[in-house]
Amino acid sequence: MTEHEGFIRQCLALAEEAARAGDEPFGALLVVDGAVRLTARNAVLTESDPTRHAELTLVSDACRRFDAATLALATIYTSTEPCMMCCGAVYWSRIPRVVFGCSAAALGAIAGGSLVASSRELFAHGQRGVEVIGPVLEHEATDVHRRFWPRS
């Protein structure tokens, strides 16, 4: 098992929790020095707020709880590659690393995404780098989405 797989599996468990709660299946972790410091899951449907993505919620909470030095050491793990909105939150928070399970392209193919973009491509437009690692355990991560999204 790679250093990232355990954290991605925790994200997938959060994604499953979100689905059981009536939300879309997305989960995220903030890891600093190998320890999970925060978790979040999608709450778009239950909170009637399209911005309540797991990653955006996580970054917002992290910025309120941790100083810039701590954020500079952090990694965001996420069940699915972050969207444009969530990439913006990661970028502006100055968190330097994202590790994801399911790619945006795979999610788009499963869920019929209308705005599919690679996080690597999005971060490439910034003035500072954000390291992107993934997909990690993509087969497991896509299974979460296949179980949730209706077949077209």
- The catalytic residue positions are 55
**How far is the C-alpha of 129 from the C-alpha of 17, rounded, in Å?**
32
Residue with tokens 């100055």: 94
